[in-house]
Amino acid sequence: MITALNAYFGSTIWQGGPTVPNITTQTVSYALVQGDFTPERLILMDVAGANTVTIPADLTPGFPLTIMAFGAGQTTIAPGSGVTLKSVDGSHKLRTQNSTATLVPLSLNVYLLFGDIIP
């Protein structure tokens, strides 16, 4: 029965339940690309020193993504030229190792950042 349902729906999505995140690991500072704005994206910044995730201009708005300071280095989320990054108190840095933040594209070149962040 399960095989028949998978064939009919084209996947196991009908089963519901938790999904597995689409994880990528970066070991140096990183500029986001269009492909990062896909469902369930988790970017692990596994960097020993301070590092930056840059949001370049003109990416087409897509799904939100989560960024984690996986390594010991502090991660800063930096808007590129022409990009507006909205957050509480202008916070753009993940607070400490294992902190996470979610980046939500609101419109072309406008993003919302929230989570375990500091100014």
| Domain contains 94 | yes
| Domain contains 85 | yes
| Domain contains 13 | no
- The predicted-structure confidence for 2-60, as pLDDT tens digits, reads as follows 565 455 555 555 455 556 679 999 999 999 999 999 999 999 999 999 999 999 999 99
| Domain contains 5 | no
pLDDT at 21: 76
Residue 99 sits in a domain whose CATH number is 2.60.120
pLDDT at 88: 96
| Domain contains 44 | yes
- The predicted-structure confidence for 84-105, as pLDDT tens digits, reads as follows 999 999 999 999 999 999 999 9
Domain that holds residue 65: 18-118
SS in 3 state form for the chain?
CHHHHHHHHCCCHHHCCCCCCEEEEECCCEECCHHHCCCCEEEEECCCCCEEEEECCCCCCCCCEEEECCCCCCEEEEECCCCEEECHHHCCEECCCCCEEEEEEEECCEEEEEECEEC
| Domain contains 1 | no
Tell me what the pLDDT averaged over the chain comes to: 90
- The predicted-structure confidence for 57-83, as pLDDT tens digits, reads as follows 999 999 999 999 999 999 999 999 999
Q: Model pTM?
A: 0.84
| Domain contains 9 | no
How many domains is the chain partitioned into structurally? 1
| Domain contains 2 | no
